[in-house]
Amino acid sequence: MSSDLVATWRLPLPDGDHKVEFEHGTTSGKRVIIVDGKEIYRNDWMFKLVGKEHFKVGKENCTISIDACSGFAYEYTLSVNGKSLEKFKDNKSKTMKCWYFTTGSASSTPYRVVLEKDKLDIWVNGVKVESTGEFTDEGTETHFALGNSCRSAYIRAESTGKRREGIVHKLFIDDEEVPSLEEQHHNQFQQHD
């Protein structure tokens, strides 16, 4: 690990969480950007110690801002598509619904399913998958393949009947509901109270 590592961020995207690391040499001006363990940008010598570095993670436009605080202290911020990382995460939490689960018994396979609510795209383990929709008595169901398995998988969108809550999305594997990541966290907190 470099002694010049000054910041690390977690960037949640539909294809998974990405780790962004930034190295800044305050004597040489060195700037290195590492995404998911791979160096994507390096400049070993810069006269200007403050400024911005632009790069992409997937389709997202990212910027690391380097600002002087006081003396030789610096502040590092990551923005995504022109928004602060926190605003970007808040927006993603509203437009993405995530499920983590395993299937099978002895050779259980882990899955991460993500629904991009604004585009109605479905991602399985970081890969966007084909899907087909149909109307049912409960709402709409979007069917998709769960990897190479022959298991039935669909996401049901149904109205809560409450204006503030709107539509809820539920994942079903072989007609059994899988709790979302938020529901899993909620249940864990309730068990500890």
CA gap 101, 170 in Å, rounded: 14
Q: Residue 92: is its pLDDT beyond 60?
A: yes
- 28-75 pLDDT, tens digit per residue, is 889 999 999 999 999 988 778 889 999 999 989 999 999 988 877 889
Q: Residue 143: is its pLDDT beyond 60?
A: yes
Structure confidence at residue 2 (pLDDT):
60
CATH of domain 92-192: 2.40.128.180
pTM (two decimals): 0.73
The encoded tokens of residue 11 equal: 């960037």
Phi, psi dihedrals of residue 140, rounded to the nearest 5°: -115, 150
Among residues 76, 67, 75, 70, the alpha carbon closest in space to that of 33 is found at: 76
Structure confidence at residue 189 (pLDDT):
45
Instruction: Give 4 or 192, the one with higher predicted confidence.
Output: 4
CATH of domain 5-81: 2.40.128.180
Q: What is the mean pLDDT of residues 89-116?
A: 83
Q: What is the mean pLDDT of residues 161-175?
A: 83
The strand order across the sheet containing 96-103 reads 96-103, 109-116, 121-124, 127-129
DSSP state of 106: T
Average pLDDT of the chain to the nearest whole number: 85
Q: Residue 133: is its pLDDT beyond 70?
A: yes
> Residue ranges of the domains in the chain?
5-81, 92-192
Structure confidence at residue 166 (pLDDT):
76
Structure confidence at residue 186 (pLDDT):
47
Q: Work out the pLDDT band at 193, boundaries 50, 70, 90.
A: very low
CA gap 76, 64 in Å, rounded: 7
Structure confidence at residue 55 (pLDDT):
97
